[in-house]
Structure 1
């Protein structure tokens, strides 16, 4: 059936939105086209050649036409692919201009930027994130403090930090300005030998099993417990700790299960040491926010760092990790 009028406009708008949602895939295509090779693009991205091929395939499916023709020994761009590549070159030029702008705005006297974040994010995300930032802003010194999400809010109000990056807990919007940075997924996990992994488990049934949780004030705990309370459930908490490593060790000892964000358990899931408990129709998200005080004028360094974070932000934390890998 032919699309006409509003239907046609909706289809065009959908295609445009798909492009904006797949910038990582566009970058993969740009490298393949520029380098003339899937293997060279994969080497540049620090991923496997099949991973690049999958990215290109998803991009072609998303926008609705073929971009690349594969020959026996070389690749070639389709006519539409050549046009898309020209736009990608313009995007690369814009990113280069942005990098130059960031370097120029950092040409002030050395300044200490006080950043507060959670212990989990400090161990996984912040080293990559701040490493990319400092390459453009070498005149800025960073002071990083690690606390629970609730303690970070208190520290902001007491002017201990210029900015905080934290999982979401309730805050006063009259005092705190928040920018949504990304979401992470919270998974119910257990040791790979746990009977809980052998079949789908109802949340009501799981609430009767020994649960190990983060300390009060943790965003992961708040978002998990809030969901269970709304379901009228009272989980059987046997241990709480401010250390994710301690919680994971208890899981290894088969003392119980826990709800943990994806970025805390990537290695254990990849190795098969932990498994995800299958709970029908359950998806727990952990919103991660950029937080700073309302009212007082922000320093130039703080404004610049917020602009950098806005440029990096993505719907999911996994996508931010992928993008930071691309930036090297």
Structure 2
């Protein structure tokens, strides 16, 4: 049987003040309740801890070492409470958001943070600029509350809040020697030298494998910025998320090649570990996110500039189109 800290606290305060009544005042209970707890403690240890003398009480010789140790326990508890209060205050209303990929940090994160701040201005949103592959580990370690990512998996212990879906596009330089047709069959992709993104988006590999395509890969593990530069030099084409090349397509620098049957879409959203969403403000935020309706054009930035800065909607959420994982 373990010691009852409530009983020990009653004994310690009564001995400290030499008064059951003062101990009761501190604990906001009746004197009889304090007396009862002390008696239970004495029954448990098997000897008297306090004796009454006139209008006061005193600690027995057998109770002196217990009183001294109890004092150390409760002083350390006060230090612990102060430290916890300091840490709770330092983390109050803070939300730590990471990003699984630099292209998402460039094109999605700015507007997502803006929407969250508009809905909850009291939140202190901290961006963790780490596009590492250790997303799961950082979520499990409670270093991050949410990670902006593509829907890679849906296995416990993680949950995924979908924000929007985005399609892949096949692009080349406008007038490129590799773009003789505006519409091609999936197998024709093999005739275009491909530039693949860093930690190549899985949906690209899935699509290529599913269609039995053996592509000519010029270079891989490139950033989206480098790929755009190489396309401008007409070194090849690329399969990228539309938001990564929307500006170049709109300006006529890049040409979008339509693929028969269409290209797959990826679902983007916030991944989190429910066991680490403990604070009430985080639980409320999850509920809000799950019921918000996010429009793709409200979230996507073209080189940091929102495509549309109005018509923010917070109605009940509709499922994102697509649903493929990348």
When the two structures are superposed, what TM-score results if normalisation uses the length of structure 1?
0.59
SS, match of residue 159 in structure 1: coil
The answer on 1:175 being equivalent to 2:157 is yes
In structure 2, the CA distance between the partners of 1:234 and 1:300, relative to structure 1 (3 Å rule), is: farther
Q: Deviations over 1:113-132 (max 9, x none)?
A: 11012322221222122123
More helix by share: 1
In structure 2, the CA distance between the partners of 1:289 and 1:135, relative to structure 1 (3 Å rule), is: closer
The answer on 1:325 being equivalent to 2:304 is no
Residues 312 and 320 in structure 1, CA contact (< 8 A), matched pair in contact too: no
Counterpart position of 1:301 = 281
In the TM superposition, 1:69-218 aligns within 5 A as 110-117=92-99, 118-148=101-131, 150-170=133-153, 173-199=155-181, 200-216=183-199, 218=200
1:304 and 1:242 map into 2 onto residues whose CA distance is 39
SS, match of residue 266 in structure 2: strand
Match for residue 262 of structure 1 among 230, 237, 242: 242
1:135 and 1:179 map into 2 onto residues whose CA distance is 19
When the two structures are superposed, what TM-score results if normalisation uses the length of structure 2?
0.59
Match for residue 227 of structure 1 among 181, 189, 207: 207
1:277 and 1:139 map into 2 onto residues whose CA distance is 45
1:214, distance to aligned residue in structure 2 (A): 1.3
1:212 and 1:266 map into 2 onto residues whose CA distance is 17
1:308, distance to aligned residue in structure 2 (A): 3.7
Residues 98 and 129 in structure 2, CA contact (< 8 A), matched pair in contact too: yes
1:323 and 1:248 map into 2 onto residues whose CA distance is 23
Residues 185 and 285 in structure 1, CA contact (< 8 A), matched pair in contact too: yes
The structure that has the greater radius of gyration is 2
SS, match of residue 170 in structure 1: coil
Return 5+ residue gaps in structure 1 as ranges: 1-107
Return 5+ residue gaps in structure 2 as ranges: 1-89, 301-306, 314-326
1:184, distance to aligned residue in structure 2 (A): 0.6
The answer on 1:272 being equivalent to 2:255 is no
SS, match of residue 190 in structure 1: strand
2:129 and 2:150 map into 1 onto residues whose CA distance is 12
In structure 2, the CA distance between the partners of 1:215 and 1:289, relative to structure 1 (3 Å rule), is: same
2:175 and 2:111 map into 1 onto residues whose CA distance is 33
1:147, distance to aligned residue in structure 2 (A): 4.5
Counterpart position of 1:27 = none
1:131 and 1:289 map into 2 onto residues whose CA distance is 15
Residues 158 and 272 in structure 2, CA contact (< 8 A), matched pair in contact too: yes
Counterpart position of 1:244 = 224
